[in-house]
Amino acid sequence: MIKLPDLQTHKNISKLLIGEECEITNKIIDYPVRFLGRNHRIFFHDPISAALIGILTGEENGMYSALLHLVIDKYSTNQLAKLVIEYLK
């Protein structure tokens, strides 16, 4: 079973690459996981929705963190990317 990146992973990588954790942005993007589990990516995991969430949270770098969230999720199944994500954690 593939382990999806958790909130802490998203916050850590965002802090490292963008300079801000953007916790609110990352929480909202993954909010549907509570109801849909692994299928939660059907909501908020497209560039427009993610960017809007990032902007609407009011976090200074929310939009960039939101788009980074999508990249991390997309490549979390790639073996090389998983190693990089684990290293950045």
The rounded distance, in Å, linking the Cα atoms of 63 and 46 is 12
Residue 34 domain flag: yes
* Ramachandran sector of residue 12 (left: φ over 0; alpha: ψ -120 to 50; beta: rest): alpha
- Residue 30 domain boundaries: 7-88
Contact in structure between 21 and 76 (CB atoms under 8 Å): no
Residue 17 vs residue 77, higher pLDDT = 17
Residue 55 domain flag: yes
Residue 59 domain flag: yes
Residue 84 domain flag: yes
Residue 2 domain flag: no
Per-residue pLDDT tens digits for 54-88: 999 999 999 999 999 999 998 888 888 888 878 87
Residue 82 domain flag: yes
Residue 81 domain flag: yes
pTM for this prediction: 0.89
Provide the number of structural domains found in the chain.
Answer: 1
Residue 73 domain flag: yes
